[in-house]
């Protein structure tokens, strides 16, 4: 009997030009998983997005055959486990895994919130306090870079590098748009070096949007950033 080749379920990613979508894309590329990017226009969310992420209605969403997986960090871990053939994205040591997860969550739950208010709030005490908190957060992140290593995960890109990719590309664009400096060579030399290393990586470059493109796409959204920062500062 003739052997039929095993059919692999299709891998598709609903996304657009977003740091969260980049996380999912880079995880797939590092694992060597071919995928199709389905662009979703955030102005009018597609039925596909609303069906597969009814809770948050946000990109990215990974479609793996009939399964759908929302949330960028959840996707990164899913990709790591579902495609074990590629290089591991999480360390094998339980404590190192726990640390990578802790700092990845710190970035989203704490550091980016402070960065956002520091970037977009009206000048004043709330913005100054957020800038101090954001800089402290970046310093804490910098302290996680292992001595003599290129990446948070050692010599290969791992979960925390992927989680921090927004710092490597999008933060500089936001800073330029807002006219605010938060990540500086003087205060965060190792993190700046890491950002350059990350952006220069061969696999990352295949899916990291050019800063000019990010700037062009995000500039018209400035007003929305200002209003979300206002709401965040008010709920602090």
Binding site for ligand GSH (CB under 6 A): 18, 20, 42, 57-60, 71-73
C-alpha to C-alpha distance for 105 and 101, rounded to whole angstroms? 6
Q: How far is the CB of 224 from ligand GSH (least distance, A)?
A: 9
User: Strand 61-64 to strand 67-70: parallel, antiparallel, or no bridges (unpaired)?
Assistant: antiparallel
Q: How far is the CB of 47 from ligand GSH (least distance, A)?
A: 15
In the sheet that holds 67-70, the strands lie side by side as: 36-39, 11-15, 61-64, 67-70
Give 37 or 42: the residue with its C-beta nearer to ligand GSH: 42
Burial of 142 (0-12, 13-18, 19+ CB in 10 A): middle
Q: How far is the CB of 21 from ligand GSH (least distance, A)?
A: 7
Q: The tokens of 66 are what? A: 């009939």
User: Who contacts 90 (Cβ-Cβ below 8 Å, separation ≥6)?
Assistant: 77, 80, 97, 100, 158, 159
Q: How far is the CB of 115 from ligand GSH (least distance, A)?
A: 14
Q: How many CA atoms lie within 13 A of 38 on its CB side?
A: 17
Give 129 or 177: the residue with its C-beta nearer to ligand GSH: 177
Give 119 or 192: the residue with its C-beta nearer to ligand GSH: 119
Give 59 or 168: the residue with its C-beta nearer to ligand GSH: 59
Q: How far is the CB of 213 from ligand GSH (least distance, A)?
A: 15
Give 20 or 150: the residue with its C-beta nearer to ligand GSH: 20
Coil, helix or strand for 165? Answer: helix
């Amino acid at each position: 009997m003739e052997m039929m080749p095993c059919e692999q379920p299709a891998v598709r990613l609903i996304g657009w030009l977003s740091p969260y979508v980049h996380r999912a894309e880079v995880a797939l590329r590092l694992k060597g998983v071919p995928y199709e990017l389905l662009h979703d226009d955030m102005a009018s969310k597609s039925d596909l997005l609303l069906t597969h992420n009814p809770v948050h209605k946000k990109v990215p969403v990974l479609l793996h055959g009939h399964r759908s997986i929302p949330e960028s960090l959840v996707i990164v871990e899913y990709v790591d486990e579902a495609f074990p053939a590629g290089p591991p994205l999480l360390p094998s040591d339980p404590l190192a895994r726990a640390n990578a997860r802790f700092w990845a969550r710190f970035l989203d739950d704490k550091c980016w919130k402070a960065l956002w208010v520091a970037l977009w709030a009206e000048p004043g005490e709330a913005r100054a306090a957020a800038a101090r908190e954001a800089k402290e957060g970046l310093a804490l992140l910098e302290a996680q870079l292992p001595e003599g290593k290129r990446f948070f995960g050692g010599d290969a890109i791992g979960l925390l590098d992927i989680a921090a990719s927004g710092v490597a590309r999008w933060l500089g664009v936001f800073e330029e748009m807002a006219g605010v400096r938060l990540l500086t060579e003087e205060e965060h030399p190792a993190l700046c070096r890491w950002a350059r290393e990350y952006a220069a990586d061969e696999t990352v470059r295949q899916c990291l949007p050019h800063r000019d493109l990010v700037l062009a796409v995000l500039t018209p959204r400035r007003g929305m950033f200002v209003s979300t920062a206002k709401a965040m500062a008010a709920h602090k």
